[in-house]
Amino acid sequence: MAVNKEVFLSLQQELQPHGAALIAVSKLKPASDILELYDLDHRDFGENYVQELANKYQELPKDIRWHFIGHLQSNKVKYIAPFVYLIHGVDSLKLLQEIDKQGRKSNRIIDVLLQVHIAREETKFGLSEEELLDVWRSLSAAPLANTCLRGLMGMASFTEDAGKIQFEFAHLQSLFHRMQKAELAGSRVDTLSMGMSADYKLALQAASTTIRIGSMLFGPRG
């Protein structure tokens, strides 16, 4: 299955007035699909699996910005730390500290987003609001030198109920806004990563800065 270029071009137009960025989620899709978008000057791609990402990084052009959007285990951070552009799904202080450690080893500052659990209905990964505040407090007390906190990421419930999704996105947006106002040392909070193929329009209405689109561009997976 090839890339739907018409969808890609119309998405770009749709995003423009919002100033929002597009991450093309290429998990489980071949390198050839990525190159099709690369040839249209797209550079931001999202992947969920460490081994797959490491392989694609080896194989593909080095100016691609790789976003890790999956659930990251601490013992695998080292495989992506040397090159990853932004890690979206940080859901514990322990993971954040490991990213910082691997950032130091790679002599870089790694940008991260904290993942917040906003879906009411399902068990998705992420911090509760309480846990988010805890991580935040720890960071203010002891800033990390090799990570830069760029914002928040979340996934809404998988539902037809637009009202519920809007509520969840608005909640994440308000946490993001609070975080921006807090001006935590060592952070540069400018990224609110929310919205996927099924709900990106609602996410844009709720001031998402970054949407993560897979199946709409690359077709259904597996």
Site residues for ligand PLP per CB under 6 A: 25, 27, 48, 69, 155, 196-198, 212-216
Please, are residues 85 and 63 in contact by the beta-carbon 8 Å criterion? no
What's the closest the beta carbon of residue 137 comes to ligand PLP, in angstroms?
A: 26
Any idea which residue has 């921006």 for tokens? 180
> Which CB atom, from 26 or from 173, has the smaller least distance to ligand PLP?
26
CB of 25 to ligand PLP, least distance (A): 4
SS3 51: helix
Closest to ligand PLP by CB, 53 vs 213, is: 213
Can you tell me the distance from the alpha carbon of 95 to that of 28, in angstroms, rounded to the nearest whole number?
Answer: 24
Provide, rounded to whole angstroms, the least separation between the CB of residue 111 and ligand PLP: 16
**Residue 143 CB neighbour total at 10 angstroms:** 14
C-beta of 142: minimal distance to ligand PLP in Å? 28
Rounded least distance, CB 132 to ligand PLP, Å:
17
In whole angstroms, how close is the CB of 143 to ligand PLP at the nearest point? 27
Alpha-carbon distance 4 to 136, whole Å? 40
**Cβ distance to ligand PLP smaller for residue 3 or 196:** 196
Instruction: Specify the residue, 132 or 144, whose C-beta has the smaller distance to ligand PLP.
Output: 132
40 contacts: CB under 8 Å, gap ≥ 6: 5, 8, 9
Which residue number places its CB atom closest to ligand PLP?
A: 214
Residues β-bridged to residue 210 = 21, 193
> How far is the C-alpha of 124 from the C-alpha of 193, rounded, in Å?
15
Closest CA to 209 of 129, 108, 80, 113: 113
Cβ distance to ligand PLP smaller for residue 47 or 146:
47
Element (H, E) at 95: helix 93-105
10 Å Cβ neighbour count for 147?
Answer: 26
Q: Which is nearer to ligand PLP, 69 or 152 (CB)?
A: 69
